[in-house]
Amino acid sequence: MFVYRGSTALITGASKGLGKVFAETLAARGMNLVLVARSGNALRGLAEELTDKYGVQCLPLSADLANPDAAIRIGEELERSGIQVDLLVNNAGLGLTGSFLSQDFTKVQSEIQVNVNALVALTHLLGRGMTKRGRGGIINLASNASFQPLPYMATYAATKAFVLFFSEALQYELAGTGVHVTAACPGPTATSFFDGVSTDVSPKDMDSSESVVHKTLKAFDRRKAVAYPGRTSVRAATWLSRFFPRTLMVRLAAMATGKMGLQG
């Protein structure tokens, strides 16, 4: 089992939502933390809070992962600080809604940069060190959207499908190295993900961030390649693409996003 106490985790998107809960949960397990997000003030406040409460070391790093150079700069800061990362939690993500052609293409590019390019860059940068040391872990946040095309969240679902497939392939490659990779595929979660989006998703239909993080870490500890940290109905929905034609899956997915009010 992964040894948390005394190890160091780097968490992206750490200032709120799932990232903040990952930070709190891992600090409670005795992990030192590198907290990465755009909001420097929120990160510094969280770092101080976790240090005071759990006695762990917390380094807040303000970085915008939409910047193609972000991963390089993070690596340089880690080297300057003499920090070795034992657990990488690629949590940061962007999710645009509405019809693809109605979206600002600059925002679409940022979505792909954060969800795919930054995740791959950090995984490559930190994963190489882990394999050399013969121990470590990587948790990549995918989604239940990974399993089928999703009209009105077309780019988001495509990026999360990439994260899922990339993570499963990487876990196969790293078998026996002491480094384990888990892709987490939660469903709708009570975070700030839908802030500013007109949606009919009810809070009662969402899982709590605490539940998602707890179940993800439980799957990671059990060395699962894929974690399904949502309610049973969310897990069941991921099975549909195994049995139904893709043309039908697209129609069903469009019905679901339409019901959620995500057409824009």
Q: What is the DSSP annotation of 139-174?
A: EEE--GGGGS--TTSHHHHHHHHHHHHHHHHHHHHH
**Chain centroid offset of residue 24 CA:** 16
13 contacts 37 by C-beta, under 8 angstroms: yes
Q: Which of 95, 184, 172, 93 is nearest to 139 (CA)?
A: 184
Residues 6+ apart with CB under 8 A from 150: 156, 157, 253, 257
| Nearest-5° Cα angle at 66, 60 to 68 | 100
Alpha-carbon distance 152 to 261, whole Å?
10
Q: Is 172 a catalytic residue?
A: no
For the beta carbon of residue 41, count every other beta carbon within 10 angstroms: 10
The single residue of 4, 152, 156, 228 carrying the catalytic annotation is: 156
In this structure, the chain runs to a length of 264
Which residue numbers are catalytic? 156
